Chains A and B, each alone.
Chain A
Amino acid sequence: NAGVTQTPKFRVLKTGQSMTLLCAQDMNHEYMYWYRQDPGMGLRLIHYSVGEGTTAKGEVPDGYNVSRLKKQNFLLGLESAAPSQTSVYFCASSYMTALEPIRNIQYFGAGTRLSVL
């Protein structure tokens, strides 16, 4: 059971380049999330998805796009990378229901370190 897998683990981009980060989960979770982590700021939500084919904006969505064509995959895209997008990116997933406490856990991938020069 792999859990949440993020690829790639590291990436260096030049300003203006584009790239896609892939998140895959094998736990049949309905909800998936993309966060970015910057020093001294904890994790901030970029976009999230509550099911296949649905996405929504989080706290810091500008400059990013997402897609969820399959339930197990959640893609994060940077169309024109900027130095301000240098960060560590985390994907997470969870069950949908709030009724069972055990289902109220978000499981995280190992993160992707992105540098934009």
Chain B
Amino acid sequence: DIVLTQSPDSLPVSLGERATINCKSSQSVLYSGDNKNYLAWYQQKPGQPPKLLISGASSRESGVPDRFSASGSETDFTLTIASLQAEDVAVYFCQQYVAPPRTFGQGTRVEIK
């Protein structure tokens, strides 16, 4: 199985400040067939299902604020919230879909400092 390890587990950030979450994969998630990284980022708020923010490692979904950005390739990925807003308090997960079983990182809880 591909293991995804996120850091940190918890991230206190002041409103308006930058939040950066890392996701490291035990194997490359770059698919040779199309040279794309099969990695996604989700946001989950209490009592809700995860919401897809980013797919293909860096492609923001429609409607996702542009303060969210992501980058990385093969085994190392980053999700950045450029200026934290109160509504961004949530748990964030990375997930790979390059090979079954699809796996998730353990999650990073973003909170207001």
Question: Does B bind A?
Answer: no
Interface of A toward B, CB cutoff 8 Å: none
